[in-house]
Amino acid sequence: MCFEVCRDLETVEATVQTPLVKTTGYQLARPVVLVPILRAGVGMLQGFIEILSEASIGNIGMYRDEETLEPKSYYSKMPQNLEEAEVILIDPMLATGCSSAEAVTQLKQAGAKNLRFVCLIASPEGVAAFNEAHPDVTIYTAAVDEKLDENAYILPGLGDAGDRYFGT
């Protein structure tokens, strides 16, 4: 997914030293900041770091209140260069869209201007809610599943991504 997410990032020419000569290559025009939503987003982070090895990393800690289904924030730490960076928000599931939309709101308030959101599985309801809240932010997803159930879980879905990744 990282390659698809980064396919249209702006590049600039750069001098590259090969083992034999200097030549012209390309590099990203702006720095990249990867921001997983803790804790489930951490499971996708390593794959992005392997490709975007010079990226900075921020973190947003958030969980969904099981009674109200509203996001609850508990942590946020970002690098200094958010304003100039390409910011990639990472969370494996886009269910109701509330947590990811709140995370984007926090990133914008912290100065982020160039944002993308990456998830593995989304619900149609989550995509609609996210797009309503942030029509300027592109969603990259591997699949849009059927629907949300009465507990706001994606069907057929994968269950709780954080629990699956961390074995809890």
pLDDT in tens, 73-122: 999 999 999 999 999 999 999 999 999 999 999 999 999 999 999 999 99
Which of 89-93, 111-115, 142-146, 151-155 comes out lowest in average pLDDT? Answer: 151-155
Q: Is residue 108 part of a domain?
A: yes
Q: Is 116 a catalytic residue?
A: no
Q: Is residue 101 part of a domain?
A: yes
Q: Is residue 15 part of a domain?
A: no
Mean pLDDT estimate for the chain: 93
Q: Is 164 a catalytic residue?
A: no
Q: Is 96 a catalytic residue?
A: no
Q: Is residue 19 part of a domain?
A: no
Domain residue limits at 88: 31-166
Q: Is residue 18 part of a domain?
A: no
Q: Are strands 114-122 and 93-94 parallel, antiparallel or unpaired?
A: parallel
Catalytic residue among 64, 116, 138, 149: 64
